[in-house]
Amino acid sequence: MVPSPPPTFCGRVVHHLKSDDDFRTATDAFMILFAVVGSVSAATSSYLLGLVAIAIVMPIAYLIGRKRPNKAILLPGAFLGCAVAVNLAYTVSHEGETWEHLTRYFVFLFLFHFTEFVFTALTNRRSLRPDSFLLNHSVGYWLAAGISWVEFGIEAYFFPGIKSYPVLWIGTIGCIIGEICRKLAMIHAGLGFTHRLAMKKRVDHRLVKDGIYAYMRHPGYFGWFVWAVSTQIILCNPICFVVYAYVTWHFFASRIYDEERDLIAFFGDAYVEYQREVWIGVPFVSGYQRP
């Protein structure tokens, strides 16, 4: 049983590092594999040798963790550490090259999945589980990601001129903004932030209107929307940019509608008043309006 963490965010980090075995396992696996694979990749300036290093260290991580009760947390943490390291090393050592777009994209993609687990542990420990990494998000999610990689590869080979370095930086800034907004949403919502919709009101469920929630009602969705679209700006993928913008907007429009219907059922007039006062977050989404 993990003791209750202190109220401050920094205090929670220290607390979980000391007493939370799942959190410590994930962060240790990530950092150790990041250091090992990153060292090899940086020393050789070779993406291929970095992949070879991953092929060597991941089986070792499996052998070390196979008898641990939380191996389902250790292995994703180790993999994400490897993936961030090899792509970050290439991004730094091959700045300005066409394929840097793809490796920088991968840095943001894999950091997103690792930080989802970390911030879930820090802000809503009771909902933490191996799938908090969101690596098993959905078939559609990874299919969309794979299609974006294919588009990038085809365009980088036949039309490398459209892979613009200034546009890469626009996407980079967008990803950072999206991540900050989403993680602030997790911090300020605390126990109210979950990866699944709450189907009924809990005793400790409160309407959060402070912090980033004073400026938008759904900062977590806003952050993910901005992040998702910005990944395609990093890749300079014109087709997937349009597709991602439409699909993610449609997904969040539907999810926000369902969520606000439940929130009005939970909080009544208080949420209706909050709707009137605060922007929804995702552009051109109206949400649920009480009849």
Q: What is the pLDDT along the chain (291 residues), one digit of tens a residue?
A: 445 667 677 787 887 888 889 999 999 999 999 999 999 999 999 999 999 999 999 999 999 888 888 899 999 999 999 999 999 999 999 999 999 999 999 999 999 999 999 999 999 888 899 999 999 988 999 999 999 999 999 999 999 999 999 999 999 999 999 999 999 999 998 877 775 655 566 666 789 999 999 999 999 999 999 999 999 999 999 999 999 999 999 999 999 999 999 999 999 999 999 999 999 999 999 999 988
pLDDT at site 8: 74
How far apart are the C-alpha atoms of 193 and 73, rounded to whole Å?
Answer: 20
Cβ-based neighbour number of residue 154 at 10 Å? 12
Q: Which pTM value belongs to this model?
A: 0.92
Nearest to 107 by CA among 28, 34, 186: 34
Domains and their CATH numbers in the chain: 137-290 (1.20.120.1630)
Q: Rounded to an integer, what distance in angstroms lies between the CA atom of residue 44 and that of residue 47? A: 8
C-alpha 37/C-alpha 83 separation (Å) is 9
